[in-house]
Amino acid sequence: MDSVFNLQDHLVHDKRKAQISTAYNINGREVDLIEPSIDEQILVMLDALRTKYVPKHEKPSPPLLDFSDFSSFLTMDVITRSAFGEEFGHLRSDSDVTGFLSHLREQWPMVSLVNETPFLRSFFYSKAYLRFFGPNITDPTGFGKLMSGVVRIVHQRPPVYRKLKAAVKEAVSSGAVTEPISYGLAKEIPYLRAVVYEGMRMRPGATGTFPKVVPPQGEVVQGKFIPGGTVVGMNVPYMLRSPELFGSDAGLFRPERWLEAPEAKRGEMERQVEMMFGHGRWMCAGKPIALMELFKTFFEFFRHFDFTIAYPAKPWNSRCYNVFVEDNMWIQVTEAA
């Protein structure tokens, strides 16, 4: 059955997407409907961390936390709570309750091989194959992998870690912050916003080329004619590390670049980073929820806890199959000082 994931007819795609996009729209009154469900899961996350992983008098040596899994548990519970009215309980059980995440991790290498091999792609994405065997594909783990990646990067840069903790403490001491923090306030904290966008830039949720087919009449791009039927795409990792867009040190994780840039330039940089979600009619419908979840969760995690990477020489296992697949990111969690 055709869906917004595989429809190529623009008119049909736009109509189908319009039918579902309101569920992801968090502008205006929709914030009041969606944000509370995210708040619920963030509070469950905080309680789960304190219950099992934070040292206490009666349990001075709690187990290490595999944050690569835990961050995906949060994403799964947010999605299932929003979609079905009740979360599946990954956070409360501290486990992959459906087995979906482990299955997805096992299948990504094959999915990537099919995507990147023309004759395999033609067969497995044919209408006949999809009609009888095709799944309804989505990736609810992208946010979780993005978050775990940024947490690791921040921890490996002590000056950034200290500045972020200070920015969070300053916001809390102002007395204007609720618990959990509102999305509207979180995205107005300059250094938090800088860390979030710099983190997405250095560790995008997806690295695929987002291929598109040139219309039959062809297209002229930057003075060059591209024949109709040509498959074109973008190199997301290169674009997000382009010196022309982000400066001569674009290969470095440096949140300060966002604070130094004039407002107009900063807006342009943010739009470029958000290209990782796609653009226009092909933009990921879940982008607004992903950004809300990222800002709010980051703030609350650094507000309540300190952490250290348990094995600095090998902080995690990481592979990339157009999305990052990670495990064994072991961290030690303590209450924030």
143: domain CATH number is 1.10.630.10
Q: Give the residue ranges of the chain where pLDDT is below 70.
A: 1-10, 12-32, 119-121, 123-145
pLDDT of residue 309: 95
In a domain, 219, yes or no: no
Pairing of strands 330-335, 65-66: antiparallel
- Look at residues 311, 45, 325 and name the one whose alpha carbon lies nearest to residue 156: 311
Amino acid 263: pLDDT: 96
Burial per residue of 100-117, b for 16 or more beta-carbon CB atoms within 10 angstroms, e otherwise? ebeebbeebeebbeebee
Burial category of 267 from C-beta neighbours within 10 Å (exposed 0-12, middle 13-18, buried 19 and up):
exposed
Return the bridge partners of 330, or none. Answer: 66
Provide the b/e sequence for 141-153 (b: ≥16 CB within 10 Å).
Answer: bbbbbbbbbbbbb
- Res 137: pLDDT: 41
Does a structural domain hold residue 259?
Answer: no
Is 244 part of a structural domain of the chain?
Answer: no
- Residue 251 included in any domain: no
Domain assignment present for 260: no
- CB neighbourhood size of 185 (10 A): 17
Instruction: Give me the pLDDT at residue 138, please.
Output: 44
In a domain, residue 225? The reply is no
Residue 94 sits in which domain range? Answer: 10-193+278-335
Q: Most distant CA pair in the chain: distance in Å?
A: 72
pLDDT digits (tens, 9 = 90+) for 99-146: 988 888 888 788 777 777 776 667 666 666 555 555 444 444 455 667
CB atoms within 10 A of CB 203: 23
- 87, 89, 310 from 97: Cα distances, Å: 11, 7, 26
Q: How many CB atoms lie within 10 A of CB 14?
A: 14
